[in-house]
Amino acid sequence: MAAHSPNFIEGGAIWSTYQFFLSNKGQAFWDEWKVSEDDGLYWQKLNHIFDEHHVGFDKSGFVPVKF
What integer pLDDT is reported at residue 18 of this predicted model?
64
Between 20 and 53, residue with greater pLDDT: 53
What integer pLDDT is reported at residue 29 of this predicted model?
87
- Please give the angle made by the CA atoms of 24, 42 and 10, to the nearest 5 degrees: 30
What integer pLDDT is reported at residue 11 of this predicted model?
64
DSSP alpha helix (H) spans, 1-67: 9-18, 24-36, 39-52
Burial of 33 (0-12, 13-18, 19+ CB in 10 A): middle
pLDDT tens by residue, 10-37: 666 666 666 666 778 888 888 898 899 8
